[in-house]
Chains A and B, each alone.
With several copies, the nearest count.
Chain A
Amino acid sequence: MALGRDDVAAWLRALRVVYAENKTLLTDLDAAIGDADHGINLDRGFSALVAELDKNAPADIRGLLQTTAMTLIRHVGGAAGPLYGTFFLRAASACAGKQRLEAPDVVALFEAGLQGIVERGKAAPGEKTMVDALAPAVEAMQRSLGDGGRLGDILQAGAQAAEEGMKATIPMEARKGRASYLGPRSVGHQDPGATSAWLLVKTAAERWR
């Protein structure tokens, strides 16, 4: 099964619902080791995205992802704004010219997005950030793709790895972002960005079965 423009739009709109539903969870996680705004930030960003798509929906996948990038960059702020903004900016480039996304294209989308986050945030795995959910997710997707998995399986593998990666942030000591100010006091808390990143992959897996 290949994804069309509307599938991508459906994913983006689903994310808006997911982040609205998880606004308090993400904010509470951020309250423990950050400044209690991660859920609020993403909810604001994805609400703005849906408003933008309602007004002015791009006709192709690249355009959708680019609008997402620009809207998040404009409305999220904080660390998550540039990070997720860059994710979608690179994802958009990865989809340039494509009317439909086959399984390898979807993996390439996430690969490019992750790469963008890593370049923007300069975080390595193990530093208690969204990278700790996304990097294993991308690896799992690549593995599943190499194993000849179908798109649904690939994304399923990605979501599962993201969830494990997210949980693995609990014992980590933060080395990037606001949580790093806490040093050892950051241990024992799940990273909010890793959690929102897991939701990003999980929602794709649920939408793009």
Chain B
Amino acid sequence: MKKLINDPDRVVLESLAGLALAHPEILRVSFDPVYVVRADAPRPGKVGVISGGGSGHEPMHVGFVGRGMLDAACPGQVFTSPTPDQIEAATRAVDGGAGVLHIIKNYTGDIMNFEMAAELCRAQGITVRAVVINDDVAVEDSLYTAGRRGVGATVLAERLCGAAAERGWALERVEALCRRVNAAARSMGMALTPCTVPAAGRPNFQLGPDEIEMGIGIHGEPGRERTRWRPAREIVARMTETILADLPFERGDRVIAMVNGMGGTPLMELYLVYGELQPLLEARGITVARRLVGNYVTSLEMAGCSITLVKADDEMLSLWDDPVLTPGLRWGA
């Protein structure tokens, strides 16, 4: 395993040290327990918005801490949920008296750790609400499973809820928005190569020189099927059709679209993917009202991409355009 690291067990901490040095105007890092928090937290009277999860998906979540997005992020070990003490401390650090929203990706570990933290916080009189993001159409949604994974929609939910909280919305309203965004969002991912978790030291799965994995999760969890490589056009068409059929999206819908790189795919290819996506949507009468193209929810150096679409209404688009100032997403500021 060749990586730009010193010690596999200290990657997350040492990376956070660099993040803290690089963005002192935006955020602070607590190391015991570990969390990243807005430099100006807590903001009295403002709802706090928090997320967290395993590390290795950067810029999500730590790179989305800042004005108009997250008040704090709790990074776990690579691909491992954070622990309740981190989440509790972060929640306390951002509570400005108006309550705190936990945005949780739907993984058993994340949910249980956030639940334990919420119990601890509520015992201290902090109002905590939680919304679980589960947008991954590659996974069957069933009462008999842990349900769909939370993937790309998390970024959009964090951004929109962050903007709403910044506007001074009450906790219930921010929570409702988060549920609305999640309900209107669908994602699907694919991988061309695996990635290597530093502590594991070897690739987390194997793909043949001509194989791809459709419907992959952001931790390299196997997806819908393993197939032979196909041209980007066919891959994008498959992903898009699966997504569109699921909600379903309809003629006249406006969407926020994200073409997300898994980490090891050049930006050149991500734009090529976007160039395939938008015409497909237009042909079905769907307008891309806003978009992100780049690396937002990565899986270390995995090559591949995901597509996320959120049906957006006027309010969401207006929130989207509000200023945001984080290491990973920035405009209007």
Interface residues in chain A, defined as those with a beta carbon under 8 Å from any beta carbon in chain B: 27, 31, 34-37, 40-41, 44, 73-83, 85, 120-121, 174-178, 180-183, 185
Contact = CB atoms under 8 A, between A and B. Distances in A.
B145 interface: yes
Contacts of B146: 175-178, 180-181
A79 B112 contact: yes
B83 A76 contact: yes
Given A83-B112, A177-B108, A185-B222, A27 B81 contact: no
B113 A77 contact: yes
B175 to A, nearest CB: 23
Which 5 pairs of residues, A with B, have the shortest CB-CB distance?
Answer: A82-B112, A180-B145, A79-B109, A78-B109, A35-B219
Given A40-B80, A181-B149, 14 more contacts: A31-B205, A36-B79, A37-B80, A40-B199, A77-B76, A79-B81, A79-B109, A79-B112, A82-B113, A82-B116, A174-B145, A178-B108, A180-B144, A181-B145
A78 B80 contact: yes
Contact of A36 (B77, B84, B144, B204): B204
A42 to B, nearest CB: 11
Nearest to A180: B145
B85 interface: yes
Interface residues of B, number: 36
Given A44-B77, A181-B146, A121 B204 contact: no
Interface in B108-132: 108-109, 112-113, 115-116
Most buried by A among B77, B107, B108, B139: B108
Contacts of A36: 79, 197, 200, 204, 220
Contact of A78 (B81, B115, B220): B81
A75 B70 CA distance: 24
B97 interface: no
Contact of B85 (A74, A175, A176, A185): A74
Most buried by B among A41, A82, A174, A177: A82
A176 to B, nearest CB: 6
Interface in B297-312: none
A175 B108 contact: no
